[in-house]
Amino acid sequence: MIRTMMLTAAIIVLPAFGAAFAQGAPALAGTWFAMLEQPAYDGVPDEKLQLSANGTAVYDTYTPYKWKAENDRLTLTFFENGEVIYEYVYKYAISGATLFLTRYDNGEIRGFRQYSKTAKQKAPFLNKTTFAAVSVNTGSENKEPKAVISADGDKPVVYVSGRYYKEINGNSRACYWKDGVITDLHPAGEKESEANAIAAVAGSVYVAGSYTVSAGRFTYKIACYWKDGVRTDLHHDDLIREQISAGESQTNAITVAGNTVYIAGYYEGGRRNACYWKADAKNITRTMLYKMPTGEYHTRTDNEANGIAVLGKTVYTTGYYTGHSLIKQIACYWKDDKKTNLPSERCPSYAHKVVVSGNSVYISGYYGLYSSGSGMCSPGTYQYCYWKDGVKTLLDGNSPEIAVSGNTVYNTGHYLVGGKQRACYWEDTTRNDLDVPKNTVNSGAGPITVVENVVYIAGYYEQGKGDQVKQIPCYWIDGKRTDLSDSAFDRSELCRVGIVCSIPNPAGGGKFVTGIAVDGGQK
């Protein structure tokens, strides 16, 4: 049985950093040593964790941190010149002189850790089933909380972003599913909307997308994001200030670091211009990524940002720009705003998603194939691959998405068998089929995340013939499929021939399933 994690407000819920920690979380204050024979978190030293009663912390030898405890979460925040640089969020529980932590990074569980008041005892690395079950029972104001370990654990929450079609006119509506239950994000009174990416952090869900508005006989998209269903527009006022009359914008990827949301995409001023937005509680700023050789930001050729990742203070963004020939797109990534081209061939290339793990940068993408016979690029023919620090690895199928866990690289997509698309994923270069019903026409896999060696993938499969083909959104957990639907929306309305069932671009995948994220457990 899963035990509910509860603490009385007087014990653990604190309004701010400071001396209140001495009263608010007495069990946490002190020096904790990592137990022996446990691997460290990726890139984070954690041999010793000192939590002072005044709210300051020393993480191994790194200072200055502040710490706070709210409900079952411990937050360590690193400041520099008064600005938040890093913020680590942990789920914690205490049993006697033992502290259990699980670390969250951009909504994903990065690892478990066990501490004690002494480092002399050995403790093997806890597996996810054991640690996830650590919960804190209700305590009294005079007693420290106690941890209880059960065999069941807290069930991870799976979020999938996308869109559905309800009206007869076929306009799409932004939405996301939480464990299969749909939430509508569509702004009231607007023409249509879409959700293009999703992140989940410490119980909150962030969705990047856009909505379309009408202005006279014109329509245009406004980039936005939703946090727990509340929408924030990203672009439109600044485009008006810059007098870009044709301006519209779009989002393609989202990540959250600390209290800051980062979103990659583009805005249009006659052409697409790659950018990313950085949004915190006070401000929204936009960073332009590509300049013309003349130094102009508003280019005469298309460029776009498709993926984003943040490591410390550094922002990595992937995408493409158009070369001087005006016809060749060149795959690239930006480290902050410094561009690096990715090795491909002489034909157009595109960089899709990015993952930064350890000291390496992994990027998924594809490039066109050149025909020596015709002396031209073969239309519609692409080679999919991923780059690790610029070194290319080829994949035997269509694979736009990527994730990394430890030393293993995961890609998702589809391959062709008997003229039909078959959903699959790759572990490094080994291809694995995903479960679909026997009467499936086509299927594809898209967004992926890996949490504690569990692989979560969102995608779709198609059933029926001719005009009766229906595309059904779904997700897989370690290959086991769950269909996405809701009693409020008949599944037949999720697919209309020529609207949803078509493959929108060479990246493939379900047109209305666009992102997947996992939070470690119910709050």
pLDDT tens for 196-246 read: 999 998 788 999 999 988 776 777 889 999 999 999 998 655 544 444 445
Across 52-156, the runs of DSSP E, i.e. the strands, are 56-59, 62-70, 73-80, 83-95, 98-105, 108-116, 134-136, 147-149
Question: Out of 52-56, 63-67, 233-237, which region has the weakest mean confidence (pLDDT)?
Answer: 233-237
CA distances from 416 to 398, 441, 508, 514 (A): 9, 12, 12, 21
Instruction: Give 46's pLDDT tier (boundaries 50, 70, 90).
Output: low
pLDDT of 119 > 70? The answer is no
Comparison of pLDDT for 344 and 169, the residue scoring more? 344
Comparison of pLDDT for 52 and 242, the residue scoring more? 52
DSSP-derived 3-state class of residue 427: strand
User: Average pLDDT in the 146-175 region?
Assistant: 66
Comparison of pLDDT for 9 and 82, the residue scoring more? 82
Tens of pLDDT, residue by residue over 477-490, are 999 999 986 433 33
Tens of pLDDT, residue by residue over 446-467, are 999 998 789 999 999 988 877 6
DSSP-derived 3-state class of residue 240: helix
pLDDT at 192: 87
Separation between Cα atoms, residue 80 and residue 281, nearest integer Å: 18
Comparison of pLDDT for 299 and 168, the residue scoring more? 299
Q: Does domain 9-149 have CATH number 2.40.128?
A: yes
Separation between Cα atoms, residue 88 and residue 110, nearest integer Å: 11
Residue position matching structure tokens 């896999």: 445
Q: Does domain 185-394 have CATH number 2.120.10?
A: yes
pLDDT at 260: 92
User: Average pLDDT in the 87-111 region?
Assistant: 70
User: Average pLDDT in the 10-32 region?
Assistant: 45
DSSP string, 62-83: EEEEEEEEETTEEEEEEEETTE
Q: H-helix or E-strand containing 305?
A: strand 303-311
Instruction: Give 426's pLDDT tier (boundaries 50, 70, 90).
Output: very high
Q: H-helix or E-strand containing 312?
A: none
Question: What's at 256, amino acid-wise?
Answer: V
- pLDDT cut 70: percent of the chain above it: 68
Separation between Cα atoms, residue 352 and residue 392, nearest integer Å: 14
Tens of pLDDT, residue by residue over 340-382, are 999 877 788 999 999 998 889 999 999 988 877 777 887 778 8
Q: Determine contact, residues 129/221, Cβ cutoff 8 Å.
A: no
Separation between Cα atoms, residue 321 and residue 302, nearest integer Å: 6
* Tokens found for residue 61: 């030898």
pLDDT of 437 > 50? The answer is yes
Instruction: Give 280's pLDDT tier (boundaries 50, 70, 90).
Output: confident
pLDDT at 458: 95
Separation between Cα atoms, residue 419 and residue 487, nearest integer Å: 34
Domain ranges of the chain: 9-149, 185-394, 397-523
Sheet with 204-215, edge to edge strand ranges = 192-201, 204-215, 218-227, 230-233
Instruction: Give 290's pLDDT tier (boundaries 50, 70, 90).
Output: confident
10: phi then psi, degrees, rounded to nearest 5: -65, -25
Closest CA to 311 of 43, 61, 65, 41: 43
User: Average pLDDT in the 289-314 region?
Assistant: 79
pTM for this predicted structure = 0.69
pLDDT of 492 > 60? The answer is no
User: Average pLDDT in the 121-147 region?
Assistant: 35
